[in-house]
């Protein structure tokens, strides 16, 4: 879980979107194309949350009945879908040029570098 400040505070969808848009603004990438990609990313964020919730509720495997009526364990398809959604989210960040964290260059003389 991504934390924001205090223990237990989740980063909100709005905070993520605002952060992405602010990073794009700093880069001068304010065209509608980039905003649309951020909106796509946020849609996937919601899908990711739904898939994670499904995995938490049903588990990695769940009991189901076969066509013959026999009880059996099935793999939760949300596991595979979650991996695909995460890959697409990372691809969008890369397309936006936001795959690297921004670094605060203010202050310091470099003596704190390893």
pLDDT tens digits, residue range 3-20? 455 555 678 899 999 999
Residue 110 falls within a domain, yes or no?
Answer: no
Q: How far apart (Å, rounded) are the C-alpha atoms in residues 53 and 8?
A: 17
Residue 51 falls within a domain, yes or no?
Answer: yes
With a CB cutoff of 8 Å and minimum separation 6, the contacts of 6 are none
What is the per-residue pLDDT for 8?
Answer: 56
Q: Alpha carbon 32 to chain centroid distance?
A: 21
Stronger pLDDT, 51 or 111, i.e. the higher one? 51
Residue 15 falls within a domain, yes or no?
Answer: yes
Residue 109 falls within a domain, yes or no?
Answer: no
Residue 65 falls within a domain, yes or no?
Answer: no
Confidence at 106, pLDDT banded by 50, 70, 90: low
Q: How many domains does the chain have?
A: 1
- End-to-end C-alpha distance for the chain, whole angstroms: 29
Q: How far apart (Å, rounded) are the C-alpha atoms in residues 14 and 61?
A: 32
The domain of 79 spans 11-58+75-96
Contact (Cβ atoms closer than 8 angstroms) between residue 26 and residue 34: no
Element (H, E) at 65: strand 61-65
Is 83 exposed, middle or buried (CB count within 10 Å of its CB: 0-12, 13-18, 19+)? exposed
Q: What is the pTM of this model?
A: 0.73
- Residue-wise pLDDT tens digits, 48-104: 999 999 999 999 999 999 999 999 999 999 999 999 999 999 999 999 988 655 444
What is the per-residue pLDDT for 104?
Answer: 47
């Amino acid at each position: 879980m991504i934390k924001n400040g205090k223990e237990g505070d989740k980063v909100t969808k709005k905070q993520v979107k605002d952060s992405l848009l602010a990073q794009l603004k700093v880069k001068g990438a304010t065209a509608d194309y980039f905003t649309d990609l951020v909106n796509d990313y946020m849609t996937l964020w919601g899908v990711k949350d739904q898939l994670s919730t499904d995995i938490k509720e049903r588990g990695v495997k769940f009991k189901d009945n076969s066509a013959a009526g026999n009880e059996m364990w099935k793999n939760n398809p949300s596991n595979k879908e979650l991996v695909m959604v995460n890959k697409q989210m990372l691809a969008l960040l890369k397309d936006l040029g936001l795959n690297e964290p921004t670094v605060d260059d203010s202050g310091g003389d470099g003596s704190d570098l390893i």
